[in-house]
Amino acid sequence: MKKPIRSIAVASAILLVASNGVAQDKQPTPEERAYKFRTSLFQTFAWKLGQMAQAKGKNDEAAFTQNAKDLAYLSSMIEEGFTIENSLPEGTKAKPEIWEDFAKFQGKITNMADITNGFAKEGAMSDFDPREFGSKACGSCHRDFKIKDDK
Ligand code: HEC
């Protein structure tokens, strides 16, 4: 019976974070919450990728491996951000195609996990190129499922 209590605690923590500092007259919808969750997750990805590049720059293999492991683990949470079908609130860059071919989307998650786990192995740091990694692990999904930034 521990689980429901934990879920409530987690849900309240999310509510606190979501409403932090903003005067809101209405609660965010489940779709908006999912959007916030996945957006923060993806921003964490960008941070971790930066940490991997920095660790390689310093020739710090231990830090590199740890960050690669973290990123691989975080990739297991992507799907959680897309469980509500067509959760496309204002501001989202997610494409409706995600739910039209969810198996393909899941394939892109597996692809990222495989590539990232490969870099969590001993001796893999020397093969790491941040741009190439970004294109293969991240861009491969973005090209099909994320609306391009207007820059
Ligand atoms: C399986 C698909 C998939 C993979 C893999 C993926 N992304 Fe994304 N990413 C998305 C989608 C979809 C969005 C748009 C989410 C939204 O706006 O609702 C997104 C959004 C983003 C954003 C914008 C967040 C914001 O502030 O709006 C960043 C940054 C990002 N991804 C970085 C990365 C990085 C770095 C990687 C690789 C380490 C990565 N993503 C891997 C699908 C993916």
pLDDT at residue 21 tops 80: no
pLDDT of residue 26: 86
pLDDT-based confidence at residue 3 (cuts at 50, 70, 90): low
Q: Is the CB of 49 under 6 A from ligand 1?
A: yes
- 74 CA to middle of ligand 1, Å? 12
> In this structure, what token pair is assigned to residue 53?
């590049």
d(CA 132, CA 147): 20
Q: What CA–CA distance (Å, rounded) separates 135 from 13?
A: 34
- 55 CA from centroid of ligand 1 (Å): 22
Kindly report the CA angle at 99 between 147 and 115, in degrees rounded to 5? 70
What mean pLDDT is predicted for residues 20-45? 88
Vertex 140, ends 133 and 80: CA angle to 5°?
A: 100
pLDDT (tens digit per residue) in 35-91: 999 999 999 999 999 999 999 999 999 999 999 999 999 999 999 999 999 999 999
For residue 9, pLDDT beyond 80: no
72 neighbors 117 (Cβ within 8 angstroms): yes
| Residue 6 pLDDT grade (very low, low, confident, very high; cuts 50, 70, 90) | low
Q: Does residue 51 have its Cβ closer than 6 Å to ligand 1?
A: no
> How distant, in Å, are the alpha carbons of 9, 38, 69 from that of 126?
43, 30, 16
Residue in 97, 106, 57, 49 with CA at minimum distance from that of residue 78: 106
CA of 42 to the centre of ligand 1 (A): 5
Burial grade of 64 (CB within 10 A; 0-12, 13-18, 19 or more): buried
pLDDT at 79: 98
Question: Within 13 A of 97's CA, how many CA atoms are on the CB side?
Answer: 12
- Chain segment 86-145, per-residue pLDDT in tens: 999 999 999 999 999 999 999 999 999 999 999 999 999 999 999 999 999 999 999 999
More confident site: 3 or 38: 38
Chain mean pLDDT for the chain? 91
For residues 100 and 72, give the distance between their C-alpha atoms in angstroms, rounded to a whole number.
25
Is the CB–ligand 1 distance for residue 42 below 6 Å?
Answer: yes
Residue 22 has pLDDT above 60, yes or no: no
